[in-house]
Amino acid sequence: MRAYLKHPFWQAVGLFVAAFLVVEFVIPALPGSAVVPKSVVLQYMATVLVGILIWVSDDEARWTTFKEPLHDVLIQPRLKVVRTVLLAVVTLMVGCLTYSQVKASVAAPPNLRSIHPAPPSQITFRGKTITLVGLENPLRKQGDIAAHIAEGHRIYYQNCVPCHGDHLDGQGHFASGFNPLPANFQDNGTIAQLTESFVFWRIAKGGPGLPREGTPWNSAMPAWEEFLTEDEIWSVVLFLYDQTGWKPRTWEVSAEGSK
Amino acid sequence: MWAINLRILGVVLGTLALYTLIANKIPQVQSEVPHALSLGANVTPEQLATAGDQLYHGAGGCTACHGLGTRAPNLLTDEKGQGPIGSRCGKREAGKDCKAYIYESLTSPKAYVVQGYEPIMPEMGRILSPQQIWALVAFLESNGGTVDVSATDIPAAPAASAAGSPAAASASAGIAGGSADPMTIIRGAGCTGCHTVNGEGGKIGPDLTHVGARLSANLIRESILLPDAKTAKGYEKFKGVMPKTFGHQLTGEQLEALVQFLASHK
Amino acid sequence: MMILQAVADTARTYRDFPVIGSRAAVWITAEIHLMFAAFVLGVPIFAVVAEGIGIFGKDQRYDRLSKEFTRLLLIAYSATAIWGALLVFMLSTLYQPLWAYLTRIFGPSMWLYAALFLFESFTLYLYYYGWDRWKYGRSKIVHWCLGILLNIWGTIVMFIADSWLTYMMTPPRDITPETSPATIKIWHAIMNHTWMPINIHRLIGNVVFGGAIVGAYASYRFLAARTEEERAHYDWMGYVGNFIAMSALIVLPFAGYWLGREIYQYDQSMGITMMGGFMSWLWVIQAFLIAVLFLTGNYYLWVGMGRIPGSERYRPYTKWLLVVLVIGALVWGTPHTMIADSRELAAMGGSHHPLLGALGVMSAKNTAVNLMILATFLSFLLYRRANIRQVVPWAQTGTRIQGAMFVIAAAIVLFFGIRGYFVEAIVRIGYSVYQVGAVLACIIFVTILDVLMARGAQSLGAIQWGKMPPRSQYALFILAVTFTWLMGLMGFARSGIRQHWHIWQVMQDTTPYAATPALGYAAIMISTCVLIFLSLVGFIFWLGGLAEKSTFVPSTVEAPHVGH
């Protein structure tokens, strides 16, 4: 047993299996975590495998010892059974892999959806052209901000709450019916990463206004410009940031200072 | 020496194959050229027909029925010995030349249904912009006939949104250029063709001058969006005449303006 | 008159290239031209440096190395010209409207370009053929100055060509589709937003690329070598090539960062298309390639330690460096938006993983890559030290200070990486500057200390050049292929963010190939280009080998370390 533990080949195998167990079972079991998608598991395991191969082969002595069991299995007469089993298993595995790859499945194929697609530089809002680049929330500079937030609060609870939820976390009553799920504003990857004008654009144009990389046919978000006025959308934007505590991304001051 | 060369080749090809495979394994997104179908004043029939060709085989979704079996007439190939659409379109409806006939078939397909087919075609005006409709007309004419669509047929394009989202742009345009003035909407939507409002208009539908006294705002909204849900007394024989497309044509703002306007007319 | 007009009209139209189409034809020609150009611009830079080391360090080996580099240049140079001519021919016939537009603006600079190209080639001929004639004394210095002149010509040539393509990406703001090209001032067009960033980025990138190709050349010669001397020489040359490539690679992200920033400043939506739009997956592939570069580069060093007496002292540490690198590669490669099917999406509550998603954002990636750079640098350091024992009295203190510097740099990187999660984006962007700054400062100060400490150091035995297992040489090949591929990929990114514009928002591409292809297609194109390029380079190297085979003179000088 000890000999096995010290042998680089079995150490490598053990490391690999341990890494797999961590990615597949330990990470999902951590608090607040979830299952790791297959594509990511594959990527992690490939990286780990490369790392292990580097470790066993960067030293001449270790590399030679590492190859011993492989070499033995391939040529030693006493290991004939192992060799046969191994050949059968490898062949079977390749077969199963091929089968699972070509097998028709009911699940929709995973697709790439860009969460933050490139916004246009300007949009037409009810016939009025709005330039998004460099645009700040106009309500931050006019009137009483608390009143605007209260207004946004009211509008959010009238329109947005069924999908985006009471906690603004994308867990509204209807949320489970959608794929993609409604945006979770509490997440540091959504509005926390975006300028207010981007959020405005997404609310105003909704799913139908998404560019191709955002796969518009998936998003159930309505184009709110049909139902809300410009100021109403801006006040909702204010409310979202106020309620979640995120700060909107600000525009970089350009070198010419003219943006 | 050859063994080394082959091994090097193997390493190089293997690395290249791995990178190519990974790049192909991820979902593929191509950045399309946005279809800003801006047909200027000097658009040629060929350009129109080419644009129409793309629509016919692409966004228009025409090939879902036309040319596939018995759901709809063949358009690009011969149909019952009458030749492709361009050669037969002028002879379908009396008093309508080819252009007018195809335009009507696209915008109100139920107005004339070719014998032997069900009226299943959607109104393309809801899906496509006027420019796209005219491009399709030109394309269909070009199949067996001559294109006589010109730039004067095509209404000026509404300021295209830079978002590259024609759907959003056309949806928000609304009736009468998106005007919020109720009377402009009423005239632009053609309500006065059937209804009388303030003494103006026809007698096919109920007089709407005092509709606010009879119906609540909600019922008025319902009547505009779902005209056949409830029919006013005395007008039962006209049930089904009112178009059901206003919900798609009006913007939300216009619809509300119209409803409030009618509801306030007590 | 009518006929004349008709001729003018047809002359201003696009044509199609048979079978593969115009886009593919121009793509392949431009990419291969660029690869050769990068090679012939990068190699002279370190050929001159090597010659300088040879002159001032009185080490004949470097002089021979430099001459060998230059011999490779000679044929590669004509290949560059051939592919460049092909590219001009293709552009002027297939993409006539664009070409006509560009020549209207840049005409004079194109003449200058051709003239400089001539100067450059004559300088190169003088430099190479005069090598043995001006070998000693003052004439050697003159010869060295010729090499510097060669680099000056080359750099100007590249700067001129860069101005054309950066104009296509970021034409000055006041130029609209209506602006007549005849009224645009040439200097105004040259001084566009991305011109300087691209210049610098390419200058460094060329050195990296040249080093990698030279490394592959050396490894091929190593594998094919018949004598021990030859093997030792090419082992050493491969090490030098790898060293050059890796050390220039460390500064490359800085230049890339500047370029990306300029693109964002020029047009926010162009920047977002590049980083977050349909190209976002390109960066995951790039991350993968960079992880391959780091791992392979370190692997080469670690295997190389096997030929250094005294390296056993440091062997136990390399596996911890490997652990850092692998964890870094895992974080570095974690996508923010994950590919997942609907069941996994539902479990994750979106396409961001609730836990691992935190590794997908910029803070985590910057931290990972900076730690990977530090680990790679530490590998180099251990490699350098492997066969010496410092004799200066403060050696132990020095090593401790070095260790402290590493710890401080890593702590700064980690601190800003973690803090990046709690601040707004605009502040977070600034943090990457501190992180890279800390790493660079660490590298510089540790190197200075190390050079001082190595004074008069006692050797534990010479490096046994040539005693290298073949698998390390294949690692060099993987490095060269990866660098070349990465260059093709980044070229696609740079050119692809223009999307359907020839000249961004000035001149639209109206060919059937205007759509920007998906990554899969681009990858096939890149692989094709890399394959054609490497085959040609292989042929050129083979030609070079034919001429030189009989003249190989075994070196009698003891091989010291690079950089001593």
**pLDDT bucket at A114, cuts 50 / 70 / 90:** low
Give a yes or no: residue C268 inside a domain: no
pLDDT at A2 over 80: no
Interface predicted TM-score (ipTM): 0.84
Per the domain annotation, does B101 fall within a domain? yes
Burial per residue of C379-397, b for 16 or more beta-carbon CB atoms within 10 angstroms, e otherwise = bbbbbbbbbbebeeeebee
Query: What range defines the domain where residue A136 resides?
Result: 122-244
When pLDDT is cut at 50, 70 and 90, the band that residue B164 belongs to is very low
**Does residue B243 have a cis bond before it (omega within 30 degrees)?**
no
What is the structure's pLDDT at C90?
87
Judge if A235 and A171 occupy the same domain: yes
Task: Report yes or no on B25 lying in a domain.
Answer: no
Q: In this complex, how many residue pairs, one in chain B and one in chain C, have their CB atoms less than 8 Å apart? A: 89
Query: What letter does residue B245 receive in the DSSP assignment?
Result: -
C165 domain residue, yes or no: no
Whole-number pLDDT of residue C543? 78
Res. A75: pLDDT tops 60: yes
Ranges of chain C whose pLDDT falls below 70: 1-12, 276-277, 349-350, 424-426, 547-564
Q: How far apart are CA A88 and CA C247, in angstroms?
A: 47
Residue of C223, C267, C269, C300 to mutate for B, most B C-beta atoms under 10 A: C223
User: Is the pLDDT higher at A211 or at A151?
Assistant: A151
Distance (Å) from the alpha carbon of B44 to chain A's nearest alpha carbon: 28
Output the pLDDT for position C49: 86
Res C555: pLDDT? 46
Instruction: Look up residue A196 and give its amino acid.
Output: E
Claim to verify: residue A30 and residue A144 sit in the same structural domain: no
Predicted pLDDT of residue B172 = 43
Selected residue of C262, C274, C355, C497 to mutate for chain A interface (largest A Cβ count, 10 A): C355
pLDDT for B243? 67
How many structural domains comprise chain B? 2
- The residue type found at C369 is V
Closest CA to B185 of B195, B175, B170: B175
Which residues of chain B are within 8 Å of residue A109 when distances are taken between CB atoms? 27
The partner residue sitting opposite C519, judged by closest CB among B7, B23, B34, is B23
CA distance C44 to C66: 9
- Residue C277, in any domain of the structure: no
Is residue A203 in a domain? yes
A238 with A178, same domain?
Answer: yes
Q: Which chains are within 8 Å of C by 3+ CB pairs?
A: A, B
A185 with A221, same domain: the answer is: yes
How many domains, chain C?
Answer: 1
Residue C426: which of A121, A176, A249 has the nearest Cβ?
A249
Asked whether C310 and C388 are in contact (CB, 8 A), the reply is: yes
Examine residue C208 and state whether it is found in any structural domain, yes or no.
Answer: no
Using the beta-carbon criterion (under 8 Å), do A47 and C349 form an inter-chain contact? Answer: no
pLDDT at A92 over 90: yes
Residue at a domain's end among A54, A70, A102: A102
Closest Cβ–Cβ partner in A109, A120, A127 for B164: A120
Chain B residues whose C-beta is within 8 A of a chain C C-beta are: 1, 4, 7-8, 11-13, 15-17, 19-20, 22-24, 26-34
Q: Which residue has the tokens 């021990």?
A: C228
In sequence order, the 6+-apart residues with CB closer than 8 A to the CB of B68 are none
Q: Is residue A97 part of a domain?
A: yes
Q: What is the pLDDT of residue B193?
A: 66
Total number of domains constituting chain A: 2
Pairwise CA distance, residues B108 & B87, whole Å: 21
Residue-range definition of the domain harbouring residue B246: 175-263
B114 plus B210 within the same structural domain: no
Residue C62 is assigned to a structural domain of this protein? no
| pLDDT at site C156 | 92
Is residue A208 included in any domain, yes or no? yes
Closest CA to B30 of C277, C165, C333: C277
**Better pLDDT: A176 or A46:** A46
Please give the Cα distance from C164 to C194 (Å, whole number): 11
User: Are residue B79 and residue B151 in the same domain, yes or no?
Assistant: yes
**A95 and A48, same structural domain?**
yes
Residue A252 falls inside a structural domain? no
Least confident stretch, B6-15, B119-128, C178-187, C317-326: B119-128
Asked whether residue A90 falls in the same domain as residue A140, the answer is no
Kindly report the CA angle at C234 between C231 and C240, in degrees rounded to 5? 145
Task: Report the pLDDT averaged over residues A107-136.
Answer: 73
Answer whether C514 sits within 8 Å of B26, measured CB to CB: no
Mean pLDDT of A25-49: 87
| Contact yes or no for C91/C26 (Cβ under 8 A) | yes
Average pLDDT value for residue range A71-77: 87
A9 and A96 together in one domain = yes
Do A210 and A132 belong together in one domain? Answer: yes
The secondary structure element, H or E, covering residue A219 is none
Name which of A238, A167, A241, A230 is nearest A204 in CA terms: A230
Q: Are A37 and A79 within one domain?
A: yes
What is the pLDDT, as a whole number, of residue B158?
Answer: 44
Does one domain contain both A131 and A212? Answer: yes
Specify the pLDDT at position A48. 92
Mean pLDDT estimate for chain B: 75
Burial grade of C297 (CB within 10 A; 0-12, 13-18, 19 or more): buried
Q: Are A96 and A126 members of one domain?
A: no
CA C404 vs. chain centroid, Å, equals 31
pLDDT digits (tens, 9 = 90+) for B172-223: 456 666 677 888 888 777 677 678 888 777 676 788 888 888 888 888 888 8
Domain hosting residue C424, numbered range: 309-447
Q: Which chains are adjacent to chain B, needing at least 3 Cβ pairs under 8 Å?
A: A, C
Question: Residue B234 maps to which CATH number?
Answer: 1.10.760.10
In a domain, C477, yes or no: no
pLDDT bucket at B163, cuts 50 / 70 / 90: very low
Residues B131, B181 within the same domain:
no
pLDDT at B232 over 50: yes
Residues of C in contact with B4 (CB under 8 A): 223-224
Residue A113 binned pLDDT confidence (cut-offs 50, 70, 90): low
State the Cα–Cα distance between residues C332 and C324, nearest whole angstrom. Answer: 12
The secondary structure element, H or E, covering residue C503 is: strand C501-503
Q: What is the dihedral of CA C16, C17, C20, C22, to 10 degrees?
A: -60
Residues 6+ apart with CB under 8 A from A134: A197, A251, A259
Which of C559 and B147 is assigned the larger pLDDT? B147
Whether C442 maps to a domain, the answer reads yes
Among candidates B26, B160, B253 on the partner chain, residue whose Cβ is nearest the Cβ of A126 = B253
The pair of structure tokens assigned to A159 is 């329109």
Measured torsion, CA atoms of residues A234, A236, A242, A243, in degrees rounded to the nearest 10: -170
Rounded Cα distance, B23 and B4, in Å: 29
Picking from B91, B121, B155, the residue at the C-terminal end of a domain is: B155
Residue A85 lies in a domain: yes
In a domain, C549, yes or no: no
Position C523 scores a pLDDT of 92
Residues A97 and A128 in one domain: no
Residue A57 included in any domain:
yes
**Does residue A19 have a pLDDT over 90?**
yes
pLDDT of residue A209 exceeding 60, the answer is yes
Domain-embedded: residue A39: yes
Cα–Cα nearest to C223, from C488, C469, C515:
C469
Contact (CB<8Å) B171/A227: no
What whole-number distance in Å separates Cα of residue A83 and Cα of residue A99? 24
Binding-face residues of C in 447-506 toward B, CB within 8 A:
474, 477-478, 481-482, 485, 496, 499-500
B15/C223 CB distance under 8 A: no
- Does A133 sit within 8 Å of C269, measured CB to CB? yes
Do residue B198 and residue B146 come from a single domain?
A: no
Between positions 109 and 148 of A, the ones with CB within 8 A of C are 109-121, 133
Same domain (yes/no): B102, B50: yes
For residues C312, C314, C320, C324, the Cα torsion angle rounded to the nearest 10 degrees is -130
